[in-house]
Structure 1
Amino acid sequence: MVYRTLLNPQIDFVFKKIFGSEKNKPILINFLNAVIKPTNPIQEVEIRNNDIDKEYLESKFSRLDIKATTNNKEHINIEIQVKNEYNMIQRTLYYWSKMYSEQIQNRENYNKLERTVCINILN
């Protein structure tokens, strides 16, 4: 008999494999529908590059846990944080503002900005 050890989803690597891989998109979609409860249920997600682009060489580099866009054009960031770094509010606002602002380029209309959601799973 073969016994398998269940991996803890609070471990960053495991969390990203469960929610951030192409083959597990249905898990991510079900999670988002359960948490966000959108009027129009999410049917599809595009898992995106989780790096936040730097504007300047000196700019802070940031890498999100999960970054996705839904068929409802919502931009989603999901973070898991087990250890309290006492900066989650500031970090979340920073990530949110970067995701929101990267949606448009210079001289584009603000009407192009879509809803941006950050979900934090905290210990």
Structure 2
Amino acid sequence: MEDKYINLLTDFGFKRVFGTESNKDLLIHFINLSLPEKHKIKDLKFGDKERGGERKEERKVIYDIYCTTKTGKKIIVELQKTKQEFFKDRSVFYSSDVIRSQAPKGEWNFELMPVYTISILDFIFQSEIENPNYIHKVQLRDENGQVFYDKLYYIYIELPKFVKKIEDLETELDKWLFLIGHIHELKNRPEILKDKIFDKIFHTAELANYTKMEKIQYQESLKIHRDLVNSLAYAEKRGEKRKLLGIIKNCVEEGFTIRQISLITKLKEEEIKTIIEEQGWG
């Protein structure tokens, strides 16, 4: 039986809810629930999701969602589905690219606009540390714990740690995180999720509202998502996930084509592309 609502953990679903002009109000609402009170935003405009380096040999940076507020604040919102060894480094690299892009040509007093990174993770990124918290807010602080620089802010949300059931949802952020991870499992809209702000989410996520072509695009995205989840789960079960990712990384560095990597790893080409993009090896 076909699901009533799309899976927001697919590339199609995530960008349909968060990355379209018509749903900009949803993105603003989610961002404001994630940020501290003094950092709240009122409006934003979407920016170019792909940035190239200043020199030809520099690596391209591709964001899921990149936007700027009316006051100039820069915001990166991303969905990360696979764990990677240097995820924190990648996160800092992406934000530093946004910092560097603010430098104009000519004279400049070095004043920067704030940069916020909100990462929704479908994995536990600090599994070596026992911490029940599923939201991590990170800033640059000095040895006394005082904020040294308040214009660089990271928020990491570990979805696997968010285990609240419908009846346990309390805050609006609770409800958002539940919908991101589980809306595709719902057959009907629960009473607790009938806040007005969620009207648009349910309407956007309902497959009955999509054209035939949009449904095809979603099904393709869903298949890639399921194949990736199944492949990594199988590899992890056999203790081979790290090895598999290492093979793909080495192949990319050696200049192998997607087709060649697919033949070597037995993964589908779309799965390879997704892994390479998420690991930042492109």
**TM-score w.r.t. length of structure 2:** 0.40
The CA distance in 1 between the partners of 2:81 and 2:42, in whole Å, is: 29
Match in the other structure for 2:33: 34
Query: 1:67-102: CA deviations, max 9, x gaps?
Result: 011134210001111111222101101100000110
What SS does structure 2 have at the residue aligned with 1:120?
Answer: strand
2:49–2:63 contact (8 Å) kept in structure 1: yes
| Structure 2 counterpart of 1:109, one-letter code | N
Which one-letter code corresponds to 1:27 in the other structure?
L
- Structure 2 partner of 1:63: 62
CA contact (8 A) 1:46 1:70 kept: yes
Supply the distance in 2 between the matched residues of 1:66 and 1:38 (Cα, whole angstroms).
22
Pairwise mapping of residues 1-123 of structure 1 onto structure 2 (< 5 A)?
Answer: 5-39=4-38, 41-107=40-106, 108-111=108-111, 113-123=112-122
User: Alignment RMSD, CA only?
Assistant: 1.6
Q: Output the CA distance in 1 between the equivalents of 2:45 and 2:37.
A: 17
> How far 1:10 sits from its partner (Å)?
1.1
Which amino acid in the other structure matches residue 22 of structure 1?
A: E
Distance in 2 between residues matched to 1:68 and 1:20, nearest whole Å: 9
Separation (CA, whole Å) in 1 of partners of 2:52 and 2:37: 28
**TM-superposition CA deviations, 1:42-73 (whole Å, max 9, x none):** 21111111112321111101210000111342
* Of 7-16 and 32-41, the range deviating more from structure 2: 32-41
Asked whether the equivalents of residues 74 and 115 of structure 1 are also in contact (C-alpha less than 8 Å), the reply is yes
Counterpart CA distance in 2 for 1:90 and 1:100 is 15
Partner Cα separation in structure 1 for residue 90 and residue 39 of structure 2: 29
Letter in 1 for 2:23: N
Q: For the residues of structure 2 that align with 1:86 and 1:115, how far apart are their CA atoms?
A: 27
Whichever residue aligns with residue 65 of structure 2, its letter is I
More helix by share: 2
5+ residue gaps, structure 2: 123-282
Query: What is the TM-score of this pair, normalised by structure 1?
Result: 0.88
CA contact (8 A) 1:75 1:114 kept: yes
Pair member with larger Rg: 2
Q: How many residues align?
A: 120
Q: For 1:38 and 1:105, locate their aligned partners in 2 and report how far apart those are by CA, in whole Å.
A: 30
Q: How much does 1:5 deviate? A: 2.6
Of all paired residues, the percent bearing the same amino acid is 28
